[in-house]
Amino acid sequence: MPSFPRIGLMARVQYPEVVDSLRYLISDLGADHSLMVEARAAAFLKEESLDDEGIDYPVCECQEFADCIDLAILVGGDGSMLSAAREMVDFDVPLLGINRGRLGFLNDIYPDEIGPRVREVLAGNYIESSRFLLETAVTRNGTEIGAGIALNDVVLHPGQSVRMMEFELYIDGHFVNSQRSDGLIVATPTGSTAYALSGGGPILNPDLDAIVLVPMNPHTLSSRPIVVPGNSEIEIRVSDLNELHPFVTCDGQNHVETEPGDVISIRKKAKQLRLIHPSDHNFYEICRSKLGWGSRVGAIHRNNKNP
């Protein structure tokens, strides 16, 4: 019996190349697997008039779709994977990514290798990893006014303003510091290679149970990124002295506007995301290729040089 007999196809952006890959997957896998297409991906196919060519598949909305599949294949970029992860994490359905974006930190399979790579996974040759998400809530005078979840990061930022904000940071109930800066990035290991990296934060191996906090353009040089245990309870209190109304975003979505005195609580989400990778998946090789790290050529040359 195949490792994943029931396969669902997903997409979050309607680009021609995304639709091409969806169509290829339907054609390549339809004969041997039970296929289902999530409603948004099906709409993209229909609008491109590709379903007029005899392709037959069941279509479902996200929740019903998740209950009927063993594996979801997401076609798109990392942003599409972030969206799908937030939607699917509670259903315990593993996700496999086909990269139709730019970097592809989360989507491992390139378009020119879809056939053999996907068949290898479906034959049982794959690596599964667990990634935790962050959940956040914003409270005002003890009442929750907004909430969200994030696979990459929760960010406190000033919106369109160019003025600094002031806030206090607490971890596990302990006061850490008060800070004047452009904001704060709170990232998972998965998100450590995204916005947090651009802000000067460290790269965390995705297997780590840790959270990184990265100040954004702090007013003092002593404000540095800090890595804390993954089960930490993080609290950000927006200073009463602020004239700004900072925003809180989760993976760049779910914008919540705060006011002075609001409290932002961030913690690890109990349910974790299941990601599927090809059997030769290697985090450090991905960093080398995506971030332009040096190769081993120089080291090999030095090691082989005659004394």
With CA atoms as reference, report the closest residue to 96 among 33, 167, 180: 33
Instruction: With H, G, I as helix, E, B as strand and everything else as coil, classify residue 34.
Output: strand
Percent of the chain with pLDDT strictly greater than 70: 92
Asked if the model's pLDDT at residue 1 lies above 50, the reply is no
Q: Tell me the per-residue pLDDT of 230-256, one tens digit each, with 9 for 90 and over.
A: 999 999 999 988 777 899 999 998 889
Q: Annotated active-site positions, please?
A: 78
- The DSSP 8-state label assigned to residue 229 in this structure reads E
Q: Which amino acid is at 145?
A: I
* pLDDT for residue 63 is more than 90: no
Give 306's pLDDT tier (boundaries 50, 70, 90): very low
Rounded to whole angstroms, what are the CA distances from 8 to 83, 96, 114, 168, 189?
Answer: 16, 10, 15, 44, 27
What does the alpha-carbon distance between residue 34 and residue 7 come to, in Å, rounded to a whole number?
Answer: 6
* For residue 22, pLDDT beyond 90: yes
pLDDT of 228 > 90? The answer is yes
Rg of the chain's alpha carbons, rounded to an integer? 22
Tens digits of residue pLDDT in 186-206: 999 999 999 999 999 999 999
Question: What integer pLDDT is reported at residue 55 of this predicted model?
Answer: 56
Residue 219 confidence (pLDDT):
85
pLDDT digits over 293-304, tens only?
876 655 544 444
Mean pLDDT of 137-142: 96
Q: Sketch out the chain's domains with CATH numbers.
A: 6-132+272-291 (3.40.50.10330), 134-268 (2.60.200.30)
User: Is residue 31 over pLDDT 90?
Assistant: no
- Write the DSSP symbol of residue 90: G
Nearest to 207, CA basis, from 277, 123, 120, 117: 277
Taking all residues of the chain, what is their mean pLDDT, rounded to a whole number? 90
Q: Which of 5-14, 94-103, 144-153, 253-262 has the highest mean pLDDT?
A: 144-153
Nearest to 109 by CA among 99, 101, 94, 119: 99
Rounded mean pLDDT, 10-26: 93
Burial class (CB in 10 A: 0-12, 13-18, 19+), 208: middle
What does the pLDDT read at residue 101?
Answer: 81
Rounded to the nearest angstrom, the gap between the alpha carbon of residue 203 and the centroid of all alpha carbons in its chain is: 15
Strongest mean pLDDT among 130-134, 215-219, 240-244, 290-294 = 130-134
Task: Pull the structure tokens for residue 252.
Answer: 């760049």
Confidence of residue 51 (pLDDT cuts 50, 70, 90): very low
Q: Which residues contact 174 (CB under 8 A, 6 or more apart)?
A: none
Say yes or no to pLDDT of 54 above 80.
no
Which strands, in side-by-side order, build the sheet including 210-216? Answer: 226-229, 210-216, 183-187, 153-157, 247-250, 253-257
A 10 A CB-CB count for 289 gives 13
